[in-house]
Amino acid sequence: MKEWKIFFLMIGAFILFYFLPLDIIPFGGPVFEALALAKWYAREHVLLCLVPAFFIAGAISVFLSQDSVIKYLGPNANKLVSYGVASVSGSVLAVCSCTVLPLFSGIYKRGAGLGPATVFLYSGPAINILAIILTGQVLGWELGLARAIGAIVFSIIIGLMMHIIFLRENNSKNQNKGFQVAENSDDRSLWKNSLYFISMVGILVFANWGKPVAADNNIWTSIFMNKWLITGIFAIILIFILIKWFKKDELKEWTISSWGFTKQIMPLLLLGILAAGIFLGRPGHEGLIPSDWIQTLVGGNSIPANFFASIVGAFMYFATLTEVPILEGLMGAGMGKGPALALLLAGPALSLPNMLVIRGVLGTKKTLVFILLVIVMASISGLIYGFLF
């Protein structure tokens, strides 16, 4: 009964913000900006973007075996395979900065190498599928793509640097050579599971297909004109798959998992949106923090601006997805594109509480080196992105 109360409370909040009558609100200023930003998010990003993404994340957590991914991070695994798997594990496991810590601790203490383990530690929350989708949807595909590629590439660099810096200590460490994991017991074939995920991703992508800027009669315009037909085809395929290939218990587990993501993330996301509106305002509007301050500290693409964004991002705590509305407000107030990417790459993967837990697993020296590498690499990535775009 408690879960139903939470569900209806969320639905009520969504309806409230979706139909919020801003034109009759008699006051302006930061509070008005917070409400206006929340209404815009409810209309533009909840039904077509977040809801499908929650179901995809739920499916990932239920129907893709974490063990089948984690086994490739062991000390006896091929280095090319282990670093490659660790770097993309965030999109596969869909973990947040909180969930990744016990997973990281478990694989490291049971024998995973320091390099792949730290690649996994960084890339897990940094390449969270929900965050990548929302970043591309709200802040533009260039920044979303740069976030995904940057996180994958420099997570590997960070892991290699950690391996090289502590090579002697790693060689003398008595690692557990019996690191074993269970295989996935799923009885569906690979192509059936692949089609299942492709159909959900197809619904997400084409339902949110934006209108091309140019009015030319090209393939992008054709897709936009027929996006609901394409989305409907993917929906029919998904319904067929769920009826023919899935058991009731599996569908129930999938729904529970998706609801878990929703229950965990939506309240925090709403708070993040309201906070962004109050302090930063909407793009082109003023909140409590004057845009001149932001332009001075993180405007442009200077080295100090990128380092400042990386350091602040590393120590701040970002609940899953809340970095997107906060960053949107910062960019609207004058934050440069380079520092924006630097904050995206340093922020979700680190926080002060996160650092304290990592120190308990790796020790002070390794933790300090890891933090420094994240800050430096995020700053460099921001500089490169700001120069290119």
Q: What is the pLDDT of residue 279?
A: 81
* pTM exceeds 0.75: no
Q: What is the pLDDT of residue 229?
A: 96
DSSP sequence for 303-372: HHHHHHHHHHHHHS---TTTHHHHHHHHHHTT--HHHHHHHHHHTTT--HHHHHHHHHHH-HHHHHHHHH
Q: What is the pLDDT of residue 26?
A: 77
Q: What is the pLDDT of residue 184?
A: 46
Burial grade of 325 (CB within 10 A; 0-12, 13-18, 19 or more): buried
Q: What is the pLDDT of residue 70?
A: 61
Long-range contacts of 143-148, Cβ-Cβ distance < 8 Å, separation of 24 or more: 143/337, 143/340, 143/341, 143/344, 146/341, 146/381, 146/385, 146/389, 147/341, 147/344, 147/345, 148/91
pLDDT beneath 70: ranges in the chain: 1, 64-71, 74-76, 90-99, 110-111, 130, 170-187, 212-217, 283-284, 291, 317-321
Nearest alpha-carbon partner for 347 in 293, 376, 309: 309
Q: What is the CA radius of gyration of the chain?
A: 22
Q: Which residues of 278-306 are buried (b: 16+ CB within 10 A; e: fewer)?
A: bbbbbeebbbebebeebeebbbbbeeebb
The token pair that represents 230 in the structure block: 């394409």
Distances (CA, A) of 120 to 61, 345, 366: 16, 14, 15
Q: What is the pLDDT of residue 380?
A: 92
Write down the domain spans for the chain. 65-183+289-388
Q: What is the pLDDT of residue 185?
A: 46
